[in-house]
Structure 1
Amino acid sequence: MNTNSISKNNNWYLVLITALSVIAALVLARCTEPTQAAVGSQPAPSLPVIQVQKEPVTTYRDYTATVEGAKDIEIRPQVKGILSHIYADEGTYVQKGQVLFQIDPRPYRQAYEQATAQLASAKASSQVARINMERLKPLVQRGVVSDVELQTASATFQQAEAAVAGAKAAQQSAAINLDYTTIHAPVAGYISSIPYKTGSLVTDNDPQALTVLSETRQMHVYFSMSEKDFMAFKAAYPGGSIEEKLTKVPPVELILADGSAYEQKGKVELVEGAFDKQAGAISFRASFPNEHGLLRSGNTGKIRLSDQPISGILIPQGATFEIQDKIFAFKLIDSNKVKTVPIQIAVKKGNYYVLSDGLQPGDKIVLQGLDRLKNDMQIAPEAVSIDSLIKANPY
């Protein structure tokens, strides 16, 4: 093959490659144009927006609490003996006067019967002494017997009367001890744990009570405040003394262990006189009615104490996001564009924040879809009322 033919072939290849490149560029341009057009015409996302206003907000603080009956009474034996019957079960409700325990009464019944017999004997001896004294009185008057004999008979009668009084006291003591063998409920309430079993020997000086009976119509709930919270508490309510301030404290809520609120509110009644130095806290007591017996001694929960109402801008926590320990919201600005603004939280209330800075009344913020937003992005706002939001999702 000569040089001219090789040169022509090379030129033909160059022309072919150039033509293919041009065709590929045209095809790529045509494929790209619809995508760019689609991007340019994508509508602004529709997102819910709320207009913030200052709202009257009552905040609260929770304190860990324990529940006790207004009267937690230790049931203890008054006499020594074998526990022959246990009539009450742990955790059951008993009425006032209901029999709870029975100590074997036989030794005490025998002692009572013996004391009764001794009383009868003493009364008989007294009767004999009285008859003898009365017989001597006319004889002394007639001078048949001396006055000394009458005085002796009178002293014997008085001694017999004293023996009657002693026997009567012994009988009453035996009757009391016999009565102590049957143990009754002093008030209506709930039975706590019973550490003894039938057949146990119990005495009146046992370190452990037979059980504890909780009178539950009124319950006491105990909680503690730190010194800082106590100072704020004193400053929040008017009055020259703690007792006066307590009368100004609004009713408090009891939040049970499952997070639900007890159906009735209570009243803070008492503050201990001194701080517990080890715990660094001072104890309070609130009282709650418990007609239906829903509260039991030993329950735990939280006392919810309301603060004085404040006026602040309230926004949902879901309308905020956090970056490096700072909290932001997307504020709606001109042309329905959004802009991140830092906000300062005064207090948290349920699922909401009360702001101290960052937004002004009348500002609008995006409620949802924050993960799709960035600064200067345009949206189609959908107005949502803050009142309807709170109604649907209360704090």
Structure 2
Amino acid sequence: MSYTNNQRYTGRLLSMIGLLGILVAAESCTTSSGNTDGQMPLPMLPVLTLNNLSATTYREFPATVEGKVNVEIRPQVDGYLEQIFADEGAYVKAGAPLFRVSDKPYREQLANANATLLAAKGNLEKAELEVERLTPLVQNNVVSEVQMKTAKSSLQTARATVAQAEAMVSNAQINVGYTLVKAPVSGYIGRIPHKTGSLVGRGEAQPLTVLSDIHEVYAYFSMSEADFLQFKEEAPGNTIEEKIGNLPPVELVLADDSVYPEKGRIETVDGQFDKTMGAITFRAVFPNSKGLLRSGNTGRIRILKQYKEALVVPQEATFEMQDKVLVFVVADSNKVVSRPIAIGDQSRNYYFVKDGLKAGDRIVYTGLTRLRDGVTIAPQVISMDSLIKSKPL
């Protein structure tokens, strides 16, 4: 029994010695894997050196496109639509026939007006003959002056009746002419809601079609009050007309994000703001000789702005705090200091700095959530040129 207890004691002693050896080995490995002075390693973060660049930025505004001339084609007479001469989307020249409204009732009116005119002319001739017959008789005192005055009055009435009948004939001819609807301008035919046999007239809410002259198109877009004030401040010129005239050509970005190949120019601006929207409307004009744009197209007007020297910072290198935009500047001894910046403009990926930084400053590019003022980092220099190649201005 005594021998067995000694064995157990010896086994426990050996186990404790082994455990102590494992702990010592683990401590030795931990010490050897860390800094020799026991401090945490410095965070390695990418750092950019800022420099002035030539750059182009732009601002975009939603726009709608309309043909330079959009004419609603409406019938001037009531009747059944008898014939349609042009199909939807077709190009027609000014004066080309588009629609014919049944003209039978209007030709009957014309015939009736002509008959009335003939009768009026017959009465006029009769009245003229009566005056001619009475003239010598009055001169020879055969009949009284009263009869002559009555005859002349009848003559005047007959002449008025002829003039009235002629006006009726002219009006009837106009109505007959209105039954053939012609294109007032050259352009493209829009949708035709009425089909052959439809009853159409001047009271219809829908026009027969819309004719669009799209050799040039208008793009309408709106600026908010703040944008308009910025435009007035930045655009050169003393008056709004001069400022608009000095604007560079604008681009039209289509619904598929492609850029329309022709550049346009801003021509006019409304005289007042829309009270409900708080915005003011501009109009730009674009050439459209190939007919690529149609009335009803939507897109975005892009107004370009050139910078000869601009200090830009990537948006990823900034953070916001209390309505301020800040960056971490790498100061002496590689310590970082937060600094607010004033933004003058921006592109999709960059801010254009107006104040707060200067060329030669170094800023931390990413990993900002790990930083606070006074932290020392191990800078990993990256080139601004290589960054711009991967993320264009």
Q: What TM-score does the superposition give when structure 1 sets the normalisation length?
A: 0.71
Match of 2:244 in 1: 246
Q: Distance in 1 between matches of 2:289 and 2:327?
A: 48
Give CA deviations for 1:287-334 in whole Å, capped at 9, x if unaligned: 222222222222233333345747431123344466787656565667
Q: Distance in 2 between matches of 1:89 and 1:340?
A: 70
Q: Structure 1 residues 332 and 107, CA, compared in 2 at 3 Å: closer, same or farther? A: same
How far apart are residue 248 of structure 1 and its match?
2.2
Match of 1:378 in 2: 378
How far apart are residue 73 of structure 1 and its match?
1.1
Q: Structure 1 residues 111 and 332, CA, compared in 2 at 3 Å: closer, same or farther? A: same
How far apart are residue 182 of structure 1 and its match?
1.6
Letter matched to residue 262 of structure 1: Y
Q: Distance in 1 between matches of 2:271 and 2:380?
A: 61
- Equivalent of residue 228 in structure 1, options 206, 223, 226: 226
Residue pair 1:331, 1:364 contacting (<8 A) in 2 also = yes
Match of 2:341 in 1: 344
What is the total number of aligned residue pairs between the two structures? 376
Greater Cα offset, 236-245 or 215-224? 236-245
Give CA deviations for 1:176-222 in whole Å, capped at 9, x if unaligned: 33232121221122333333332222223444422222221222222
For residues 345-364 of structure 1, the aligned pairs below 5 Å read: 345-346=342-343, 347-364=345-362
Match of 2:276 in 1: 278
SS of residue paired to 1:24: helix
- Given the alignment of the two structures, is residue 195 of structure 1 paired with residue 193 of structure 2, yes or no? yes
Match of 1:51 in 2: 49
Give CA deviations for 1:4-36 in whole Å, capped at 9, x if unaligned: x57745653453234333443466467668856
Root-mean-square deviation over aligned CA pairs: 4.8
Match of 1:105 in 2: 103
Q: Distance in 2 between matches of 1:325 and 1:126?
A: 92
How far apart are residue 245 of structure 1 and its match?
2.9
How far apart are residue 270 of structure 1 and its match?
2.0
For residues 256-295 of structure 1, the aligned pairs below 5 Å read: 256-295=254-293
How far apart are residue 89 of structure 1 and its match?
3.8
Give CA deviations for 1:218-268 in whole Å, capped at 9, x if unaligned: 222222333333333333334443333322222223333333333222222
How far apart are residue 82 of structure 1 and its match?
0.6
SS of residue paired to 1:225: strand
Give CA deviations for 1:145-203 in whole Å, capped at 9, x if unaligned: xxxxxxxxxx9999999988877665554443323212122112233333333222222
Q: Structure 1 residues 30 and 60, CA, compared in 2 at 3 Å: closer, same or farther? A: closer
Q: Distance in 1 between matches of 2:16 and 2:383?
A: 61
Q: Distance in 2 between matches of 1:7 and 1:302?
A: 93
SS of residue paired to 2:378: coil
How far apart are residue 77 of structure 1 and its match?
0.9
Provide structure 2 residue ranges, at least 5 long, that are not aligned to the other structure.
134-152
Q: Distance in 1 between matches of 2:96 and 2:286?
A: 26
For residues 1-395 of structure 1, the aligned pairs below 5 Å read: 1=1, 8-9=6-7, 11-25=9-23, 28=26, 50-112=48-110, 172-306=170-304, 309=307, 311-320=309-318, 339=336, 341-346=338-343, 347-365=345-363, 370=367, 375-381=375-381, 383-386=382-385, 389-390=387-388, 393-395=391-393
Q: Distance in 2 between matches of 1:344 and 1:11?
A: 73
How far apart are residue 75 of structure 1 and its match?
0.8
Q: Distance in 1 between matches of 2:240 and 2:33?
A: 74
Letter matched to residue 376 of structure 1: T
Q: Structure 1 residues 205 and 230, CA, compared in 2 at 3 Å: closer, same or farther? A: same
Residue pair 1:44, 1:380 contacting (<8 A) in 2 also = no
Aligned residues: percent identity?
44
